[in-house]
């Protein structure tokens, strides 16, 4: 049965304000990225390919690099944990918090934490958990979900945000000036930083050779979170390893430019380990939780290239389908093209549930063109569509293709069908009781059939 | 992706007319023949050709699409260049087919991949025609829609260079050129709302400068865009880029 895809149905219902915020934010992101990369580099594609090759190499030797990174981190006094599943990751983090009797913590933005729904879990277990990234903070206040990898509240405008602060008593009066909003949130957050018993962050990279973590932010909130607290926990996907510190030159130059059109994010932190004796502040205890949560399955699949992803969101910004549908349409932590590949794979037991996501693409390839690690996203979407077909995953909108294949391998039938298609010119096909055809023709006219005309012309002139 | 250096060229070619030209756009296929002949190329049209198989491939039904691809590869077997007036069908031949046969390579399919050219790329890189020796009688304002399946190839650059070199032609640049028109074959059927919105946005950019004609290297994009435009009461003259070249030949 041919039907309308869920993401299209979702897009149809989005209100105009949200739609405008998403289109505006993502189009600007695409434009800024393009300009900063082309102003600074003669051949940005060469750098993208290099970054992709480094990531690919790392993934081919991931076991070795993980072991090397583990040794290097331990030598720095970092406690290293491996978590195979989301549940293990949550339990490891909870037990660390319990051993330090942490009741309150701050958390900087982490997609890995979103992936395992860490906040609600910690809150259920009696740990107050405050998001310190402004966007994530607003999301938390609203009980909402992030809709973009780097701009979690791209779907909201400043009027909505001002109202949120007013409602929560963080602002005394309504003011939607961005600077005022930021200042008010900052005053509220500063106090919380000082009370927190731990700080949870993600990491953008872990260098296997030195065991140092690299973390980028634009708000400095993770530094603030770490400075006054005794315990730092970093939750990191195992694919975040890169071989050497000098590789950061490639990745940091690409990450900021691809994500936000900045040459470099405002803050780039290199985290050595727990506080050294000579340092006046910083956590005394540092834990790194390396999380698999389906990643090794992805590594073993024919879509392993998606693990190169450095979570910049450039594919999301440029994607015309995402722009119309918004990130929430993807029903998972990761939206846009990367989410359409990663979510059905990572949440593997849910593949059938999310098998429609890879279909949410015209296969235009813009995502591949902007990807800082050159992931062939359209190819991966196609492989997943094939996987869904092979596994006979029920999808509301599968168009049966066997009749087409039969016709297209029977040349004489094909020629007859082409000639006969001219009859359609005289039939009121728009009233045919086929819903998708009606929908299609409701928006567009179809050109007149000229089936077989070219063949006739070609034959006539060859024989003359 | 694909480099022209590795593909065969020459003065005798096989024409893959595409199913869309077979059904609707015979003028684009005719122009392809006439322009190539004008350049001294002999064009052969294998009668048993049907479709490249892309509808099934994009739907994920690779069993069906491999069947069509094998048929196609057999029809175009040999060592002659295969010329396609569509960036999308050409990409199916040299990229999509390799993907769907990666676990069971088929020599005929690989051979087709290695011999396929999008027509404008062939004229520019294969035949080495870098400027077009012809002109329009009157100034003509052209907008060019860069079809998505020519990304990563030299087709768009070849087309722009050739169109810009036509006397009296002015090719206007458009905003957000990287954005897709929203057709995507079966995508436009199962994502009707998003497809229509994408098309309307694309039309806004394409029509902004009030061009005389809208051209592309893919009739599928044009079918979708002009079908929407007509319904929205803003019809636009349109044709395949090769038809513009054809217009300059007496």
- pLDDT tens profile A270-291: 999 999 989 888 999 999 999 9
Percent of chain A surpassing pLDDT 90: 85
pLDDT score of A207 more than 60? yes
Q: A444 and B231: CB-CB below 8 Å? A: yes
pLDDT score of A437 more than 90? no
Q: Domain limits of chain A?
A: 6-14+296-390, 41-293, 404-463
- In this complex, which of B30, B60, B188 lies closest to A440 when CB atoms are compared? B188
CA distance B107 to B105: 6
CATH architecture of the domain with range A41-293: 3-Layer(aba) Sandwich (3.40)
Q: A320 and B99: CB-CB below 8 Å? A: no
Q: B23 and A324: CB-CB below 8 Å? A: no
Q: B53 and A408: CB-CB below 8 Å? A: yes
A-chain CB neighbours of B75 within 8 Å are 411
Instruction: Give the per-residue pLDDT at A439.
Output: 82
Residue A14 Cα, gap to closest chain B Cα (Å):
12
Map chain B to HEC letters. Answer: CCCHHHCCCCCEEEECCCHHHHHCCHHHHHHHHHHHHHCCCEEECCCCCCCCCHHHHHHCCHHHHHHHHHHHHHHCCCCCCEEECCHHHHHHHHHHHHHHCCCCCCHHHHHHHHHEEEHHHHHHHHCCCCCCCCEEEEEEEEEEECCHHHCCCCHHHHHHHHHHCCEEEEEECCCCCCCCCCCCCCHHHHCHHHHHHHHHHHHHHHHCCCCCEEEECCHHHHHHHHHHHHHCCCCCCEEEHHHHHHHCCC
Instruction: Give the per-residue pLDDT at A436.
Output: 77
Instruction: Give the per-residue pLDDT at B68.
Output: 98
Q: A454 and B67: CB-CB below 8 Å? A: no
Residue B111 Cα, gap to closest chain A Cα (Å):
19
Phi, psi dihedrals of residue A351, rounded to the nearest 5°? -45, -45
Instruction: Give the per-residue pLDDT at A393.
Output: 81
A-B interface: how many C-beta pairs under 8 angstroms?
208
Instruction: Give the per-residue pLDDT at A428.
Output: 75
Map chain A to HEC letters. Answer: CCCCCHHHHHHHHCCHHHHHHHHHHHHHHHHHHHHHHHHHCCCHHHHHHHHHHHHHHHHHCHHHHHHHHHHHHHHCCCEEEEECCHHHHHHHHHHHHHHCCCCEEEECCCHHHHHCCHHHHHHHCCCEEEECCHHHHHHHHHCCCCCCCCCCCCCCCHHHHHHHHHHCCCCCCCCCCHHHHHHHHHHHHHHHHHHCCEEEECCCEEECCCCCEEEEECCCHHHHHHCCCCEEEEEEEHHHEECCHHHHHHHHHHHHHHHHCCCCCCEEEEECCCCCCCCCCCCCEEEEEEECCCHHHHHCCCCHHHHHCCCCCHHHHHCHHHHHHCHHHHCCCCCHHHHHHHHHHHCHHHHHHHCCHHHCCCCCCHHHHHCCCCCCHHHHHHHHHHHHHHCCCCCCCCCCCHHHHHHHCCHHHHHHHHHHHHHHHHCCHHHCCCHHHHHHHHHCCCCCCCCCHHHHHHHHHHHC
CA distance A46 to A49: 5
Q: What is the pTM of this model?
A: 0.96
Confidence category of residue A400, pLDDT binned at 50, 70, 90: confident
Instruction: Give the per-residue pLDDT at A434.
Output: 75
Residue B13 Cα, gap to closest chain A Cα (Å):
15
Does any CB of chain A come closer than 8 Å to the CB of residue B215?
no
The domain A6-14+296-390 belongs to what CATH superfamily? Alpha-helical ferredoxin (1.10.1060.10)
Instruction: Give the per-residue pLDDT at B72.
Output: 98
- In this complex, which of B30, B187, B227 lies closest to A362 when CB atoms are compared? B187
Domains B4-126 and B135-247 share a fold: yes
Does any CB of chain A come closer than 8 Å to the CB of residue B195?
yes
Instruction: Give the per-residue pLDDT at A2.
Output: 67
Instruction: Give the per-residue pLDDT at B134.
Output: 95
Nearest CA in chain B to A448: B24
Instruction: Give the per-residue pLDDT at A432.
Output: 73
pLDDT per position as a tens digit, A53-109: 999 999 999 999 999 999 999 999 999 999 999 999 999 999 999 999 999 999 999
- In this complex, which of A421, A443, A452 lies closest to B228 when CB atoms are compared? A443
Mean pLDDT, chain B cut into blocks of 10 residues (250 residues total): 72 97 97 98 98 96 97 98 98 97 96 98 97 96 95 95 97 95 94 96 96 97 97 96 96
pLDDT score of A395 more than 80? no
B-chain CB neighbours of A374 within 8 Å are none
Percent of chain A surpassing pLDDT 70: 98
- In this complex, which of A365, A448, A458 lies closest to B33 when CB atoms are compared? A458
Q: Domain limits of chain B?
A: 4-126, 135-247
Does any CB of chain A come closer than 8 Å to the CB of residue B190?
yes
- In this complex, which of B17, B30, B59 lies closest to A399 when CB atoms are compared? B59
Confidence category of residue A114, pLDDT binned at 50, 70, 90: very high
Nearest CA in chain A to B67: A405
For residues A209-230, give the mean pLDDT.
94
CATH number of B135-247: 3.40.50.1860
Residue B12 Cα, gap to closest chain A Cα (Å):
15
- In this complex, which of B176, B180, B193 lies closest to A8 when CB atoms are compared? B193
CATH number of B4-126: 3.40.50
Instruction: Give the per-residue pLDDT at A3.
Output: 79
* Mean of per-residue pLDDT scores for chain A: 94
């Amino acid at each position: 049965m041919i039907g309308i895809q869920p993401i299209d149905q979702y897009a149809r219902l989005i209100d105009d304000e949200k739609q405008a915020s998403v289109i505006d934010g993502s189009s600007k992101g695409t434009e800024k990225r393009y300009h900063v990369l082309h102003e600074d580099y003669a051949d940005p594609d060469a750098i993208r390919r290099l970054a992709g090759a480094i990531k690919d190499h790392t993934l081919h030797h991931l076991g070795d690099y993980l072991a090397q990174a583990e040794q290097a981190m331990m030598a720095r006094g970092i406690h290293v944990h491996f978590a195979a599943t989301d549940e293990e990751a949550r339990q490891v983090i909870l037990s660390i918090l319990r051993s330090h009797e942490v009741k309150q913590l701050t958390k900087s933005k982490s997609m890995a934490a979103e992936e395992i729904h860490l906040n609600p879990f910690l809150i259920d277990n009696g740990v107050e958990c405050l998001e310190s990234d402004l966007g994530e903070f607003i999301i938390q206040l609203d009980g909402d979900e992030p809709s973009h990898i780097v701009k979690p509240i791209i779907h909201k405008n400043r009027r909505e945000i001002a109202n949120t602060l007013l409602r929560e008593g963080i602002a005394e009066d309504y003011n939607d000036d961005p600077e005022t909003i930021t200042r008010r949130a900052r005053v509220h957050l500063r106090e919380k930083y000082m009370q927190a018993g731990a700080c949870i962050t993600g990491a953008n990279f872990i260098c296997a050779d030195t065991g140092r973590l690299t973390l980028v932010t634009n708000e400095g909130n993770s530094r603030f979170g770490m400075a006054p607290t005794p315990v730092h926990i970093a939750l990191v996907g195992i694919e975040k390893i890169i071989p050497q510190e000098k590789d950061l030159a490639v990745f940091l130059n690409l990450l900021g430019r691809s994500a936000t059109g900045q040459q470099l994010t405002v803050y780039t932190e290199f985290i050595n380990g727990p506080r050294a004796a000579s340092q006046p502040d910083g956590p005394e205890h540092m834990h790194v939780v390396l999380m698999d949560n389906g990643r090794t399955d992805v590594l073993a699949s024919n879509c392993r290239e998606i693990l190169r992803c450095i979570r910049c969101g450039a594919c999301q910004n440029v994607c015309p389908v995402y722009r119309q549908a918004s990130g929430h349409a993807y029903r998972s932590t990761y939206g846009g093209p990367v989410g359409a590949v990663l979510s059905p794979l990572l949440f593997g037991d849910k593949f059938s549930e999310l098998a429609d996501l890879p279909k949410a693409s015209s296969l235009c390839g813009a995502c591949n063109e902007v990807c800082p690690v050159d992931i062939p996203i359209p190819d991966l979407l196609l492989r997943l569509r094939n996987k869904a077909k092979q596994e006979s995953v029920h999808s509301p909108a599968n168009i049966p293709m066997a009749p087409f294949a039969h016709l297209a391998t029977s040349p004489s039938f094909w020629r007859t069908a082409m000639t006969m298609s001219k009859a359609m010119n005289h039939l009121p096909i728009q009233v045919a009781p086929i819903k998708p055809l009606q929908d299609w023709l409701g928006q567009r006219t179809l050109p007149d059939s000229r089936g077989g005309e070219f063949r006739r012309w070609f034959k006539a002139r060859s024989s003359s | 992706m694909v480099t022209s250096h590795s593909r065969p060229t020459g003065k005798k070619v096989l024409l893959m007319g595409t199913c869309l030209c077979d059904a609707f756009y015979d003028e684009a296929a005719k122009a392809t023949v006439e322009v190539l002949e004008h350049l001294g190329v002999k064009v052969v049209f294998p009668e048993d050709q049907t479709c490249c198989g892309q509808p099934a491939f994009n739907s994920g039904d690779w069993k069906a699409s491999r069947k069509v691809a094998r048929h196609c590869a057999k029809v175009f077997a040999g060592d002659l260049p295969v010329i396609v007036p569509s960036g999308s069908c050409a990409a199916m031949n040299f990229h999509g087919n390799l993907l769907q046969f990666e676990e069971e390579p088929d020599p005929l399919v690989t051979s087709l991949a290695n011999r396929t050219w999008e027509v404008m790329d062939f004229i520019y890189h294969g035949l080495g025609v870098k400027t077009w020796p012809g002109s329009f009688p009157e100034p003509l304002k052209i907008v060019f829609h860069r079809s998505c399946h020519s990304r990563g190839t030299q087709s768009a650059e070849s087309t722009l260079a050739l169109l810009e070199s036509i006397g009296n032609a002015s090719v206007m640049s458009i905003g957000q050129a990287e954005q897709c028109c929203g057709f995507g074959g079966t995508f436009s059927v199962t994502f009707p709302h998003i497809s229509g919105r994408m098309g309307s946005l694309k039309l806004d950019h394409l029509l902004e400068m009030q061009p005389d004609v809208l051209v592309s290297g893919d009739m599928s994009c044009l079918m979708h865009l002009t079908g929407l435009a007509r319904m929205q009461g803003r019809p636009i003259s349109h044709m395949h880029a090769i038809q513009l070249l054809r217009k300059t030949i007496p």
